[in-house]
Amino acid sequence: MANQLRIIGGQWRGRKLRFADGAGLRPTTDRVRETLFNWLQGLLDGARCLDLYAGSGALGLEALSRGAAEVVFLETNPRAVQELRDNLSLLKVGQAQVLPLDALAYLRQPARPFDVVFVDPPFGQGLLQDSLDRLSQGGWLAAEARIYIEHAAKGEAFDLPADWELLRSKQAGQVAYHLARYSPPEQNRD
């Protein structure tokens, strides 16, 4: 049986979409998404976004609803991939790609920079630090890119790459979430 998520802002505000059941599939809650997208206000219009561990696609769909020019969704669960493709088709979205690829494998490819990256890996699988490290290498981030990080509030520490600045941090129940900014080294030489 499919679950539902609700788009909370933008052109599809209030729209309910189905997503597949799956182990570890836990869409970012409405409350956390509202806070995150308030943090990103003014930065999404025309942005190129990457949803590294898309799952239900809640973060990328919200970004598209709020004016993102493009979203690349990565997801390995075949049912979640199909449901996400169905939702994009239902919404008549042309500026999105759903790739059935492992996020860490994807980050080994040649890069095109993204303006906003959502990093919300399955909890407790040790993927967070590797994801951040690989994003910081290889040209994945545009200058001043924003990186959203979500993880279990207990037992999942991480280190930000040296050229990232932590802008915001909050906790909601068992989830901690943060917003960081990438500043290339040449911008740090003042």
What is the token pair recorded at 92? 């008549």
pLDDT at 14: 82
Q: Average pLDDT for consecutive 10-residue bins of the chain (190 residues)?
A: 78 82 69 93 96 93 96 94 93 93 94 96 90 92 96 87 95 93 70
**Can you say whether the dihedral through the CA atoms of 30, 35, 38, 39 is positive or negative?**
negative
What pLDDT shows up at residue 168?
96
Q: What is the pTM (predicted TM-score) of this model? A: 0.91
HSE on the CB side for 46, CA within 13 Å?
Answer: 1
Question: What pLDDT score was predicted for residue 112?
Answer: 92
Angle at 181 between CA 58 and CA 123, to 5 degrees: 45
Whether the Cβ atoms of residue 108 and residue 79 lie closer than 8 Å to each other: no
Q: In the prediction, which pLDDT does 6 show?
A: 87
Q: For residues 174 and 101, what is the distance between their CA atoms, to the nearest angstrom?
A: 27
What pLDDT score was predicted for residue 29?
Answer: 78
pLDDT at 25: 62
| Residue 161 pLDDT | 93
| Predicted pLDDT of residue 190 | 46
